[in-house]
Chains A and B, each alone.
Chain A
Amino acid sequence: MNDMTPTREQREAALEGMGCKRKRVEDVRFTQGKGQYVDDLKLPGMVFGDFVRSPYPHAKITKIDATEALKIPGVIAVLTAEDLKGVNLAWMPTLAGDVQMVLADGKVLYQNQEVAFVVAEDRYIADDAIQLVEVEYEELPVLVDPFKSMDPDAPVLRPDLEGKTEGAHGPRKHHNHIFNWEVGDEDETAKAFAEADVTINEMISYHRTHPSPLETCQCVASMDKVKGELTVWGTFQAPHVIRTVASLLSTIPEHKIHVIAPDIGGGFGNKVGAYPGYICSIVASIVTGVPVKWVEDRMENLSTTSFARDYHMTTEIAAKSDGTVTGLKVHVLADHGGFDACADPSKWPAGFFNIVTGSYDFPAAHLSVDGVYTNKAPGGVAYRCSFRVTEAAYCIERAMDILAQKLDMDPADLRMKNFVKADQFPYQSALGWEYDSGDYHTAMQKAMDTIGYRELRAEQKAKQEAFKRGETREIMGIGVSFFTEIVGAGPSKNCDILGVAMFDSAEIRVHPTGSVISRMGTKSQGQGHETTWAQIIATEIGIPAADIMVEEGNTDTAPYGLGTYGSRSTPVAGAAIALAARKIRNKAQMIAAHMLEVSEYDLEWDIDGFQVKGNPEARKSMKEIAWAAYHAPPPNMEPGLEAVSYYDPPNMTYPFGAYFCVMDIDVDTGVASTRRFYALDDCGTRINPMIIEGQVHGGLTEAFAIAMGQEIRYDEMGNVLGASFMDFFIPTAVETPHWETDHTVTPSPHHPIGAKGVGESPNVGGVPAFSNAVNDAFQFLGSTHIQMPHDSWRVWQAAKDLGAHG
């Protein structure tokens, strides 16, 4: 070797592989305003579609008259449900087994529901025309409160389901009932409660909110009538599924539909489902023969496409007097709005809410979920969460605090006492999951030591005394949250979407010169896949990440995959990438053996090539091997160097973390200030620590928003409140706290690279940390549970109700 020969460390660094804080390739275009988002697309002859929407939350439609609207120059068409019936698209199936109106068919079920679709030459003319479409409504009684939805005299919301006693998920017990879902052993759980020393019972609500990515939902549909081919560009987190659905609904053969998801401005679950805007644009393009663009405005986004949460969770824990938990019983009333459009895997009407035993070793548990219809927007999407995991985590983390209070135990100590122990993994939970790996005690202890937990408790106690003496008007809360997620949906044995198993895929092609194109079935919306996927490949096949191009979102070129949501990209597609790369490495080994004239068993892998065991001087780099694969492959071997992998995960992955929030609250103003927020995450193997940290910051900010004020509320008349950024809380840089991040690493034993996924952990674990901090602050004044969101007015109200205002 001469001085110019790179060292092993240099060769490794040159790859920018796994574990490296690689700068993002996406940023070069995004920082220059050169991203290509849907609304940036301009096609010759393109026209615009926009909706006439209902001002009423529940009403019959007696007449729609578009005569005046159609007189405006530039207005091309006004579509109603009657028009859609001609192509059998007035209704569409939902992912949850229900059906949903595309355009109001005789009635509306929520405010701002889509009534007619105006197509015009530009968006201003479309807006003019909307004002002139005359719709006559006959108001119906409105059902807002989910707790009244199954009253005997509750209004019938869905006449189309009248008399149907069987729904997609079993029997319906009322005309507004959607499903009941039961898991666990009811008798064992009842026994635990009968024998308990201590029990708690609390109704814990997780209010309705919205993912609200900065880019709304939008699409361009273009029907080429000559070729009979449809192209749809859209904000799709799952483009392949959208194509399959579009094919099934339109009867256009799947190979003649091209679905393309370009750059996406955030998704957070909002862009998983199929919405009336997509269907109407497609129909309008088929009708008019020109491309049709549809772009939601913010109010439409917040009030119609995909709310999240709205779970009302009556939670009971049974425990021994020493704090050992013995049973968990949860009943959820799930408000699904006018249609059940939850974006869960098909067999899971309440998603993975049965992760509600959390990080604790409950010997017995029972869960029952009732879904009901109300006059609210449909949705129920996983807002930065894996299918109702965040509701489950909030439920159990709040309940553990309430139990600690009842036992007069420290909430961190109570958690430590009940954690699933490291030697219990793989762990079978009482509600049916097999947790893959974890080391909860180590993570919790590290977190407690880092933030100085005991000292904080001492300070809190002193402050409480000072408050009681009238020396301060400020109180202090310490929010403890230890969450276990379940992500990476999922194994085909229990996860599918409309019958398609939830695998994911990767295709990697090494070019003769040793550079790479790779394509996946996932679709980044800000997660940085173009950067991180290349890092996995770089480590696996020894080609620098800079020489690897990653492409997603074009259904014509990318292998079929189920898309990006539920933190599934790394657990599922990440595994497919590693396995496809290993196929390439296996072939490369045979080629290298041929080149070096040795047996392939005499070779060993070394960073970026193969070398002869015991003789590292005799080696072939991947670059040399790639050339040989196209130039002189071994006899009887196919030329080329590429591989595809479809990965059906054997299990979910179970990331976890310990979060602590220290909060100071002014009882006279209700202003709650986050003094410190510490987040320790364990997502297994870490692919790019910079990106992980960024995701944690973002998820925590969303958690902060949700816990402290972000809400889609309805008044008693069914008017949607909070449907603009004036009312819907999105934190600015001013109120967003400073985030401290930390980690432990417990790899997933079943994942090829041991990675678990992280994007949603901070939202899942963050919400209980904030809410527990507020609740913890007020505990010494006699409070047990204060419902979210904890905006200043409600915090002030809580202080008042507890007599803190004197």
Chain B
Amino acid sequence: MSDIEQIPVTVTVNGKKVQRFVEARTLLIHFLREELNLTGPHIGCETSHCGACTVEMNGMSVKSCTLFAAQANGAELTTIEGMANPDGTLSALQEGFRQMHGLQCGFCTPGMITRAHTLLKENPNPTEEEIRMGIAGNLCRCTGYQNIVKAIQYAADQLNQPETQEAAE
């Protein structure tokens, strides 16, 4: 190993508190993937364009390829691995992507779903235009986005149903 100084980073990831020592230059995406073995978020460009590395940090979507792990110190993070329902079934968004054929190779999918998750918190009932604008930071090479839009609409419909809301409360 190199002799570069290690600094402590403490984060809560998918509800679980973890502490590690990392180099100051360690990117958050590498911290998640290499240190915590959370390989759901992917690396597609390393320049914040593609969004495959999107995670939620303190309620906001961030591109973990252009954040240092140290910048996440003390933060609450949610990755695709924390997206399923507590009983292990697919969340409304995950189910929406499956039902509407919102994915093909699956490489952008974790970032896309994680972004959509935050988007629906920001705007629970988005129009198609708002969805398209809301996921414009996430690139997909396979689907042409049309079915991704439908998948997010599917999830919004599910989540907006009164019984679902009650169950959640």
Q: Is the CB of B149 within 8 A of A32?
A: no
A214-B146 contact given A26-B106, A28-B98, A266-B107, CB 8 Å threshold: no
Total interface residues on B, CB under 8 Å, equals 62
Q: In the complex, which residues of chain B have a beta carbon less than 8 angstroms from the beta carbon of A736?
A: 132, 144-146
Among A74, A214, A694, A697, contact of B50 (Cβ-Cβ < 8 Å):
A214
Q: What is the chain B residue whose CB lies nearest that of A35?
A: B106
**Interface positions of A from 708 to 753, Cβ below 8 Å from B:** 724-726, 730, 732-734, 736, 738-739
Q: Is the CB of A733 within 8 A of B79?
A: no
Q: Is the CB of A701 within 8 A of B145?
A: yes
Q: B12 on the interface (CB 8 Å rule)? A: no
Q: Is the CB of B80 within 8 A of A33?
A: yes
A214-B103 contact given A73-B1, A298-B47, A724-B45, CB 8 Å threshold: no
Q: In the complex, which residues of chain A have a beta carbon less than 8 angstroms from the beta carbon of B141?
A: 212-214, 266, 268, 698, 701-702, 730
Q: B39 on the interface (CB 8 Å rule)? A: yes
A72-B106 contact given A526-B142, A724-B47, CB 8 Å threshold: no
Q: Is the CB of B145 within 8 A of A124?
A: no
Q: Is the CB of A121 within 8 A of B1?
A: yes
CB distance from B147 to the nearest CB of A (A): 6
CB distance from B75 to the nearest CB of A (A): 19
A618 to B34, CA, bound (A): 60
Q: What is the chain B residue whose CB lies nearest that of A298?
A: B45
Q: Is the CB of B146 within 8 A of A31?
A: no
A485 to B109, CA, bound (A): 30
**Interface positions of B from 68 to 118, Cβ below 8 Å from A:** 79-81, 83-84, 90, 94-95, 97-99, 101, 103-110, 113
Q: Is the CB of A265 within 8 A of B98?
A: no
CB distance from A213 to the nearest CB of B (A): 6
Q: Is the CB of A725 within 8 A of B101?
A: no
Q: Is the CB of B3 within 8 A of A73?
A: yes
Contact with B along A268-299 (1 / 0, CB 8 A): 10000000000000000000000000010110
CB distance from B91 to the nearest CB of A (A): 9
Total interface residues on A, CB under 8 Å, equals 61
Q: Is the CB of B148 within 8 A of A733?
A: yes
Q: Is the CB of B50 within 8 A of A698?
A: no
Q: In the complex, which residues of chain B have a beta carbon less than 8 angstroms from the beta carbon of A694?
A: 101, 104, 142-143, 147
Q: Is the CB of A733 within 8 A of B132?
A: yes
Q: A40 on the interface (CB 8 Å rule)? A: yes
A125 to B26, CA, bound (A): 11
A640 to B23, CA, bound (A): 57
Q: A407 on the interface (CB 8 Å rule)? A: no
Q: Is the CB of B44 within 8 A of A214?
A: yes
Among B42, B52, B101, B133, contact of A734 (Cβ-Cβ < 8 Å):
B133
Q: What is the chain A residue whose CB lies nearest that of B27?
A: A124
Q: What is the chain A residue whose CB lies nearest that of B105?
A: A526
A736 to B140, CA, bound (A): 11
Q: Is the CB of B104 within 8 A of A33?
A: no
Among A33, A121, A697, contact of B110 (Cβ-Cβ < 8 Å):
A33
Contact with A along B33-69 (1 / 0, CB 8 A): 1100111111111110110100000000000000000
Q: Is the CB of A726 within 8 A of B3?
A: no
Q: Is the CB of B45 within 8 A of A725?
A: yes
Q: In the complex, which residues of chain A have a beta carbon less than 8 angstroms from the beta carbon of B110?
A: 33
Q: What is the chain B residue whose CB lies nearest that of A695?
A: B104
**Interface positions of B from 117 to 159, Cβ below 8 Å from A:** 131-133, 135-149
Q: In the complex, which residues of chain B have a beta carbon less than 8 angstroms from the beta carbon of A265?
A: 42, 44, 105-108
A263 to B39, CA, bound (A): 13
Q: What is the chain B residue whose CB lies nearest that of A724?
A: B47
- Residue of B39, B90, B104, B136 with most chain A CB atoms under a 10 A cut-off: B104
Contact with A along B5-20 (1 / 0, CB 8 A): 0000000000000000
Q: In the complex, which residues of chain A have a beta carbon less than 8 angstroms from the beta carbon of B149?
A: 733
Q: A34 on the interface (CB 8 Å rule)? A: yes
Q: In the complex, which residues of chain B have a beta carbon less than 8 angstroms from the beta carbon of A28?
A: 90, 98
**Interface positions of A from 70 to 85, Cβ below 8 Å from B:** 72-74
Among A33, A263, A264, A738, contact of B40 (Cβ-Cβ < 8 Å):
A33
A124-B25 contact given A214-B107, A694-B101, A725-B49, CB 8 Å threshold: yes
CB distance from B80 to the nearest CB of A (A): 3
Q: A231 on the interface (CB 8 Å rule)? A: no
Q: A495 on the interface (CB 8 Å rule)? A: no
Q: A412 on the interface (CB 8 Å rule)? A: no
A298 to B108, CA, bound (A): 15
Q: In the complex, which residues of chain A have a beta carbon less than 8 angstroms from the beta carbon of B1?
A: 73-74, 121
Q: In the complex, which residues of chain A have a beta carbon less than 8 angstroms from the beta carbon of B139?
A: 214, 725, 730, 732
A738 to B23, CA, bound (A): 45
Q: Is the CB of B103 within 8 A of A30?
A: yes
Q: In the complex, which residues of chain B have a beta carbon less than 8 angstroms from the beta carbon of A700?
A: 144
Q: Is the CB of B43 within 8 A of A39?
A: yes
Q: B161 on the interface (CB 8 Å rule)? A: no
**Interface positions of A from 531 to 566, Cβ below 8 Å from B:** none
- Residue of B43, B97, B105, B149 with most chain A CB atoms under a 10 A cut-off: B105
Q: In the complex, which residues of chain A have a beta carbon less than 8 angstroms from the beta carbon of B165?
A: none
CB distance from B39 to the nearest CB of A (A): 4
Q: In the complex, which residues of chain B have a beta carbon less than 8 angstroms from the beta carbon of A123?
A: 30
- Residue of B1, B42, B50, B131 with most chain A CB atoms under a 10 A cut-off: B42
A215 to B41, CA, bound (A): 12
Q: A406 on the interface (CB 8 Å rule)? A: no
A286 to B95, CA, bound (A): 45
CB distance from A656 to the nearest CB of B (A): 21
Q: In the complex, which residues of chain A have a beta carbon less than 8 angstroms from the beta carbon of B145?
A: 697, 701, 732-733, 736
Q: Is the CB of A733 within 8 A of B98?
A: no
Q: Is the CB of A525 within 8 A of B132?
A: no
Q: Is the CB of B144 within 8 A of A701?
A: yes
CB distance from B93 to the nearest CB of A (A): 8
Q: A24 on the interface (CB 8 Å rule)? A: yes
CB distance from B142 to the nearest CB of A (A): 5
Q: Is the CB of B143 within 8 A of A697?
A: yes
Q: A93 on the interface (CB 8 Å rule)? A: no
Q: What is the chain A residue whose CB lies nearest that of B52?
A: A214
Q: In the complex, which residues of chain A have a beta carbon less than 8 angstroms from the beta carbon of B146?
A: 697, 736, 738-739
- Residue of A265, A702, A739 with most chain B CB atoms under a 10 A cut-off: A265
A264 to B81, CA, bound (A): 19
Q: In the complex, which residues of chain B have a beta carbon less than 8 angstroms from the beta carbon of A40?
A: 33, 39
Q: A405 on the interface (CB 8 Å rule)? A: no
A247 to B81, CA, bound (A): 39
CB distance from A659 to the nearest CB of B (A): 14
Q: What is the chain B residue whose CB lies nearest that of A705?
A: B141
Q: A626 on the interface (CB 8 Å rule)? A: no
Q: Is the CB of B132 within 8 A of A734?
A: yes
A568 to B30, CA, bound (A): 37
Q: Is the CB of B101 within 8 A of A691?
A: yes
- Residue of A32, A263, A268, A700 with most chain B CB atoms under a 10 A cut-off: A32
Q: In the complex, which residues of chain A have a beta carbon less than 8 angstroms from the beta carbon of B38?
A: 33
A695 to B103, CA, bound (A): 10
**Interface positions of A from 677 to 695, Cβ below 8 Å from B:** 690-691, 693-695
Q: Could you tell me which B residues sit within 8 Å of A by CB distance? A: 1-3, 23, 25-26, 30, 33-34, 37-47, 49-50, 52, 79-81, 83-84, 90, 94-95, 97-99, 101, 103-110, 113, 131-133, 135-149
Q: Could you tell me which A residues sit within 8 Å of B by CB distance? A: 23-24, 26-35, 37, 39-40, 42, 72-74, 121-125, 212-216, 263-266, 268, 295, 297-298, 525-528, 690-691, 693-695, 697-698, 700-702, 724-726, 730, 732-734, 736, 738-739
Known contacts A31-B97, A32-B90, A40-B33, then 5 further A-B pairs from the complex at CB < 8 Å, ordered by chain A residue = A31-B90, A35-B107, A265-B107, A734-B133, A734-B136
Q: List, sorted by A's number, 17 A–B pairs whose CB atoms are closer than 8 Å.
A: A29-B106, A33-B81, A37-B42, A73-B1, A73-B3, A123-B30, A124-B2, A124-B23, A215-B105, A265-B106, A298-B44, A694-B104, A697-B147, A724-B49, A732-B138, A736-B144, A739-B146
